[in-house]
Amino acid sequence: MTGLPDGTTPTFAKARYVTGATEHNHWSGAANEGFDKNVRPLNDKIVFLDNGGGVVPGITGMEAFGHTPGHMIYQLESEGQRLMITADTANHYVWSLQKPDWEVRFDADKAAAATARKQVFGMIAADRIPFIGYHMPFPGIGYAEPLGEGFRFVPASYQLMLNG
């Protein structure tokens, strides 16, 4: 867990940690040795987000519950441009997008995860927002385009830009 304590010394002593309240509360109530060792000691430095809460100006947390009980996605906005960080909302760039109702073994609440996929990628497709998802193919950033009952991943075009 990058940035979290290593033994008794925090990796980043002056850091402020931001996470979703629902996710934190779920793991804090479960028997979880990793949470107790690495996260609980930081509780006084954690800022808890609810749906629509700001991490910092230009970064907004949004609920996408299902993959985990408090799974969050983040919208980055600057100078009128937006980018969504969808994390584990989609576990596969074809199946999870084209068949958002298909169950994924790794989703804690399968019905909620399916609903989140439809809502998140519906918004991304409707507003033509580029997104980065953990399980998307190279270059890892792209768009969602409506396709049948779901969506299609359209990778962002990339080129080597040379200034001469």
Q: What is the pLDDT of residues 60-111, one digit of tens each?
A: 999 999 999 999 999 999 999 999 999 999 999 999 999 999 998 999 999 9
Of the candidates 14, 22, 28, the one whose C-alpha atom is nearest the C-alpha of residue 53 is: 22
Buried b or exposed e, range 92-111, using 16+ CB within 10 angstroms: ebeebbbbbeeebeebeebe
Provide the token pair at 90.
């989609």
pLDDT above 90: residue 143: yes
What is d(CA 99, CA 61) in angstroms, rounded to the nearest whole number? 25
Q: Identify any residues that bridge with 155 across adjacent strands, giving them in sequence order.
A: 142
CATH number for the domain running over 51-155: 3.60.15.10
Structure-model confidence comparison of residues 42 and 51, the more confident one: 51
The structure's pTM equals 0.86
What is the domain partition of the chain in residue ranges?
A: 12-49, 51-155
Residue 138: count of CB within 10 angstroms of its CB: 7
Q: 8 pLDDT exceeds 80?
A: no
